[in-house]
Amino acid sequence: MNFDLSESIGILTNTPSVLESLLRNLSDEWLYSNEGLDTWNPFDIVGHLVHCEKTDWMVRLKIILFEEDKHFKPFDRFAQLSESKGKSINDLLLEFRTLREKNIAVLKGLELTCDMLGFKGIHPSFGDVTIRELLSTSVVHDLSHIAQISRVMAKQYKVETGPWVEYLPILTK
C-alpha cells in the first residue's frame, strides 16, 4: 500500500479512541502487568505515546518544514517512566487525546503537497528521512503500540486459557 495522507490522518485520529476503549477504567492489575523484566505495561505504553506527541513526530515535521538546521534531536524512548509518575491512566488518555487533536489540527493546517512529502530531515541514527517516511512511521508506531498493549494484556490470561493456548498465536509468539 502506498502512503496516503488522508488515510494516515484517519489512523492517527482514531488512536486515542481505540486506547480509551481498551483501557479506560480498568483495574491496576490490567494496567500495570507486563511481560517480564524490563518490559512495558499498558500504562507505560500510553505514557510513551504522550511523550511522542510532545517531542517526536510533530516536532520533527516542523524541523523539516521550518528550520534551517534539519537535524533531529535524539528521542528518549524511556522518558515516560519518570514523566508519567503520579498520573492515572485516565489522566494519560486525556493528555494523549488533547495533544493528538492539537497535532492533527496542525498537520491538516500545513496543507502538505505530494512534493512536500519528499522534504528531508536528518535523523540521528538513520540520516536523511522524508516527511512521507516520518508520517508513515507515526501511523505504524500507533498500530504497533496498540498491538503491543493487546499482546501484553492477552498474556495475562495465558495460563488460564488452558489447552486453547496453541490456537492463540498472540500468546505464543
pLDDT tens-place string over residues 51-94: 999 999 999 999 999 999 999 999 888 778 778 889 999 999 99
In the chain, where are the structural domains located? 5-172
Which pLDDT score is estimated for 78? 75
| CATH of 5-172 given 3.60.70.12, 3.40.50.300, 3.60.20.10, 1.20.120.450 | 1.20.120.450
Q: CB within 8 A of 84, min separation 6: which ones? A: 43, 44, 46, 47, 50, 92
| Strand, helix or coil for residue 40 | coil
User: 0.75 cut: is pTM over it?
Assistant: yes
> Cα dihedral angle (113, 64, 50, 43), rounded to 10 degrees?
100
pLDDT tens digits, 138-170: 999 999 999 999 999 999 999 999 999 999 999
Which whole number is the average pLDDT over 16-45?
96
DSSP state of 163: G
